Structure 1
Amino acid sequence: MPAKTLLSALFLFLTFHCVGQDSTYIYTSAKNTYRETDSIARTKVYNGDLRLLVSELTDSYADNTYKARAIFAWIADNIAYDYKAFNNHKHYKAPKCKTGDDCLKVIADWKEDYTDKVLRSGKSVCDGYAWLFKRMCDYAGLQTDFVPGYTKHSPDEVGRMGALDHAWNGIILDGKYYYLDVTWASGHCPKDKKGKLKAFEKSFNDFYWLTPIEKFCQNHYPEDPKSPGVANYSVERYKNNPYIINDYLEEIEVILPSTGVVTAKVGDTINFAIQHKLGFWDLHFSTNTKHNPYIVANSKTVYKTLGFVTGEEQRTDQYSLPFKRKGDIYSFDFVVDNKNLRVIEFYMNGLLQLVFKVKVIK
């Protein structure tokens, strides 16, 4: 890409913002593997010399994966999400490249200035996290990319691309290309009643470290569909994925149907099969034509964020589904009984975990 084109793309990208997912899940296997690396990385302090910090983080490791992990853990621990910048639509503007300028140098100087600002303030939106990770990996001799792209944040984005508002990184380790998202790994910002972000809550989430592509593309997809990370993962597959609530991304694998946007006729039976590592004993559904929140008796509190409401005055008969279980594979059927059916939500043990869209045809 020509330098001027690249600079224009950077400027356009930075008119967007991005925010970490609210998740309490910790990717346990990675947590155990890198426990010592993470612990050591979190003791390192930035004193104005980034090359020295990178050296302190990585020099003791021969394996590039551990070098990258130390950088990843340090950024996630030391950079907070700048929720005020997000709420106020502020962004760090890329400079204009004038005729006669060395545009590559303009870009390099801008990125260095931007990441220096992130380090001084200790906060950023997603692009600052991703540029800082790339810069530190460059100093460590690691091959990385800055990857702008789409993300999904809600069930109504099934069948859609989501917003082009985020950035993460690609990295080559042992000859393989991986994605990782240090912004979403660092924590999250709850939202108030008006949808504004509240103060950042640091909560390290290992799920977004070298995430398998089948999991990563549940809610991320690069702007450039030729990115090496998605060589075998199409735009259509990403767009039409069922929506898995973020806390259950590692736990749920959808086997059937093969898409999150199901085409059916009234009277058809849709066969579902999922792998669920945590397991469940209770399965209910809610649709746009049969809204049926899960009920807990003897309380008047409304728990919308958990996917159910409570109250003695509520009826207790529910739209439940029978299911079969073989190991951690669960299968169940849903009969399409209304031409206006558009959405099916599945609640396991009272919690919304999985959402599909339906297109009813004649």
Structure 2
Amino acid sequence: MKLAGFLLLIVFATQAYAQKADFDHIDFHKADSIALGYKNEDLDNLPELAHKLTTNLDTDVERFRAIYMWVCTNINNDYGLYAKNKRKREKLKTDTVKLQAWNQTVTKTVLIKLLKNKKTICTGYAYLLKTLSNLANLECEMIHGYGRTSTTKMADLETQNHSWNATKIEGKWYLSDPTWASGLENPVSKSKKLDYIEGFFLADPRLFAVNHYPVEKQWWLLKERFPSFETFKNGPILYGKAYRNLSLHLAPIKLHNLVNKYETINFKYELDLSLNAQDLRFEIDDGYERKTVTPRLTLNDGQLVGLEYQFRFGGFYDLHVFAANDLIATYTFKVSD
């Protein structure tokens, strides 16, 4: 029987990739408590803030955790500035000189509004995390590139639109996204609600790569060959809450899929330890009605889960994957007769 798409096979080696699981022996409650204890601190003295957040912690990963948690829970998204910057960059995308001048202007605006009002866009989140980490003698870099969310249009990916961080801890680089960890944009209200998502902290690079594409390829932190930009653009929609429920997304690897009736479609994920395979369900929309279905479980090797589904009728369908009540992924299927 023909399989839809390319089923990615990965040999799972314990701790093969730099990720939070490297520190399962660390209890982050003390670091989180310290971060939450300084909730009302201003940004007028960053060296002092870095000292307060880290001085009573024993390990570099705890020190980074306290700084990261503070940034994620104290800085608000400036959607007005984000929208203005997006419109301007789109307008100037074919004029390199004017675009560079605008980038310099908006960078100054970002820093001023960040330090004064504790409001910013992704550049400000990444800058603040890097600065506080460096002040605490932690190696941390800003990574620039492209990010895909449920609201991202292909036109948004013609210019760089996102920034995040890489941090070196105990000799290894780790990826984190403080902007998306603090909450994601509501596609209807265009607002951003503070809603911390743990999975963006020291994320597995393979999951991170589904919706992050760095300009400098060294920051993939992948052992295998990194995907092309076209592969990235054509990938599935992975929502922020996927990072609460998945450790890895393996298949399908495309958003838009062409299949035949009764063709077996394979879905493959590695689940977070808190999630059971029975918590997964599909909601399928054919443009007229939306129905909930339970996919057939084909593989459940610990946290590695395989699911199968077949469409019985031709047409065009949106297939949404839910983990309990969390929407985690969306794909489309054109089913041929």
Deviation at 1:52, TM superposition (A): 1.9
Residue 241 of structure 2 aligns to a residue in which SS? helix
Structure 2 residues not aligned, in runs of 5+: 1-20, 90-102
Match of 2:193 among 191, 196, 201: 201
- The one-letter amino acid of 2:194's match is K
After superposition, the C-alpha distances for 1:49-70 in whole angstroms (9 at most, x for unaligned) are 2212212222333422122112
Match of 2:28 among 34, 44, 50: 34
Judged with a 3 Å threshold, the aligned counterparts in structure 2 of structure 1 residues 266 and 149 are, in CA distance, closer, same or farther, namely same
After superposition, the C-alpha distances for 1:148-184 in whole angstroms (9 at most, x for unaligned) are 12111128879x9687311111111111111111122
Deviation at 1:230, TM superposition (A): 4.3
Tell me, yes or no, if structure 1 residue 331 matches structure 2 residue 326. no
Q: In 1, distance between residues paired with 2:131 and 2:123? A: 12
Judged with a 3 Å threshold, the aligned counterparts in structure 2 of structure 1 residues 53 and 244 are, in CA distance, closer, same or farther, namely closer
After superposition, the C-alpha distances for 1:237-272 in whole angstroms (9 at most, x for unaligned) are 544433333323342444554655545456643334
Match of 2:265 among 238, 261, 270: 270
Judged with a 3 Å threshold, the aligned counterparts in structure 2 of structure 1 residues 202 and 284 are, in CA distance, closer, same or farther, namely closer
After superposition, the C-alpha distances for 1:13-53 in whole angstroms (9 at most, x for unaligned) are xxxxxxxxxxxxxx9x98x9312112112333347322122
Residue 67 of structure 1 aligns to a residue in which SS? helix
Q: In 1, distance between residues paired with 2:45 and 2:323? A: 50
Q: In 2, distance between residues paired with 1:350 and 1:242? A: 19
After superposition, the C-alpha distances for 1:163-214 in whole angstroms (9 at most, x for unaligned) are 731111111111111111112222345354xxx533x533322221111112
TM-score (norm 1): 0.63
Equivalent in the alignment of 1:4: none
- The one-letter amino acid of 1:218's match is V
State the superposition RMSD in angstroms: 4.2
- The one-letter amino acid of 1:39's match is S
Tell me, yes or no, if structure 1 residue 151 matches structure 2 residue 151. no
Equivalent in the alignment of 1:140: 136
- The one-letter amino acid of 2:190's match is L
Residue 289 of structure 2 aligns to a residue in which SS? coil
Judged with a 3 Å threshold, the aligned counterparts in structure 2 of structure 1 residues 230 and 342 are, in CA distance, closer, same or farther, namely farther
Q: How does 1:41-190 map to 2 (within 5 A)?
A: 41-44=35-38, 45-46=41-42, 48-89=44-85, 115=111, 117-154=113-150, 164-190=160-186
TM-score (norm 2): 0.67
Q: In 2, distance between residues paired with 1:175 and 1:115? A: 30
After superposition, the C-alpha distances for 1:298-326 in whole angstroms (9 at most, x for unaligned) are xxxxxxxxxxxxxxxxxxxx777555574
Q: How many residues align?
A: 290
Equivalent in the alignment of 2:224: 232
- The one-letter amino acid of 1:197's match is K
Deviation at 1:85, TM superposition (A): 2.1
- The one-letter amino acid of 1:118's match is L
Equivalent in the alignment of 2:331: 356
